[in-house]
Structure 1
Amino acid sequence: KKEKQDSVVENEESTMRTLSLLAVLLLVVASHPRNAANAHGGHRFGKEKLTNLRFYLHDTLSGSDPTAVPVAHGASTTPRPGDPTPFSSVYVVDDVLTEGPERTSRVVGSAQGLYASTGRHGLGLVLGIDFAFNDYNGSSFVVFSRNPVADGDGRELAVVGGRGAFRLARGFALLRTHYLNTGNGDAIIEYNVTLMHY
């Protein structure tokens, strides 16, 4: 009877070792790059690419056809003199992207999303915007980042994702203000973007 019990225990231990080895083997196979594609809806990712983009964003708050419209602001907000984007204001945007700084320059895409005025003591924004490009069949990258406008040129935004040709994008955008009307908030911003993507 004892020999039978010892045999059962040995069989159980052997079965557990076999199952453990199978589990490890399955993890190794599933994590292999060729098989990892199946975990992403069958998409296979090739070599990572580097893309640099340069364009101009036209953010228009004034006139009869603005591209940035205020949709909310705090009840106790006290606007700074001459500040068209007071602290706690939220704007929805559908801005035009052009090849050059002139509005008549070739349109290369659009930037849709929103930004909030988050600077209590100076102009600062937080952006959540999708930048889509005509030359890439509407593919886009996404910025979700703080934009310290008051810091001047060379400010940096984080690229946190993308779709289409810019799938899994990450990177950064360096901004330079080409034009800013402090009275009405209209601006033309130069973007120099570096993307890593698949």
Structure 2
Amino acid sequence: MIKLGTIVILCSMAIAMPVFCCIAEDPKELEQWFHDLTTKTDQKVTKLHFYFQDLRGITTTIVAQSNTSLTSPTFFGLTYMVDDPLTVGPSQASKVVGRAQGLYGLSSKEDMRLFMAIDIVFTDGTYNGSALTVLGSNPLTQTKRELPVIGGLVFSGWPAVLLC
């Protein structure tokens, strides 16, 4: 399974607005993709950059699985509860600016796909006290994907786009 601790997230706002997601293997490629994406809209965009530190067994725990989850090629039915630190850099020792809290489960028998119900809660910095709720399908094998932000509590008034 792809380790979420290596996924870059640039965060967003807008209720029921799609969240755009891209695995940052090449930061220049990600920056170009983000630039191309944001030049196609007349909306104000705020770019946030942070890292999930998703550490299996430390910040995540298995809360459910079917009898066949561990023998399934896609681990179908395996469900985790998470409380992941969000950091300013890829290192676990980086400054923590928030938490990703909620659950995700492997939800497809055909491909590696998560169903995610995650609150992204900011605990430091400009957006301290703000939160976003991400709910929906996350196709892990796609390098670029959209995730829906279905709500949130924003104190600083910032529309944006979530990229991971």
The TM tier, using the shorter chain, reads 0.5 to 0.7
The separation in 1 between residues aligned to 2:135 and 2:150, in whole angstroms, is 6
Which residues in structure 2 correspond to 1:1-198 (within 5 Å)? 50-62=45-57, 66-80=58-72, 86-133=75-122, 134-135=124-125, 136-151=127-142, 153-165=143-155, 172-175=161-164
Q: C-alpha displacement at 1:79, in angstroms?
A: 2.5
Specify the SS of the correspondent of 2:141: helix
Distance 1:172 1:79, change over 3 A: farther
Deviations 1:20-51 (A, max 9, x none): xxxxxxxxxxxxxxxxxxxxxxxxxxxx9643
The separation in 2 between residues aligned to 1:72 and 1:170, in whole angstroms, is 35
Of structures 1 and 2, the one with the larger relative CO (CA 8 A, separation 6+) is 2
The separation in 1 between residues aligned to 2:78 and 2:159, in whole angstroms, is 28
Match of 1:183?
A: none
Match of 2:39?
A: none
Question: Going by fraction, where is helix more abundant, 1 or 2?
Answer: 1
Q: C-alpha displacement at 1:138, in angstroms?
A: 2.2
Cα root mean square deviation, aligned: 2.4
Deviations 1:134-184 (A, max 9, x none): 222321111012110022x222211111114167x8865222xxxxxxxxx
Specify the SS of the correspondent of 1:173: coil
Specify the SS of the correspondent of 2:163: strand
Matched pairs, number: 120
CA contact (8 A) 2:45 2:159 kept: no
Normalising by structure 2, report the TM-score. 0.64
The separation in 2 between residues aligned to 1:170 and 1:93, in whole angstroms, is 26
Q: C-alpha displacement at 1:77, in angstroms?
A: 3.1
Specify the SS of the correspondent of 1:53: coil
Distance 1:117 1:171, change over 3 A: farther
Match of 1:186?
A: none
CA contact (8 A) 2:46 2:159 kept: no
Q: C-alpha displacement at 1:104, in angstroms?
A: 1.2
Look at both structures and tell me which one has the larger radius of gyration over its CA atoms: 1
Normalising by structure 1, report the TM-score. 0.54
Which blocks of at least 5 consecutive residues in structure 1 are unaligned?
A: 1-47, 176-198
Identity of aligned residues (%): 38
Specify the SS of the correspondent of 1:165: coil
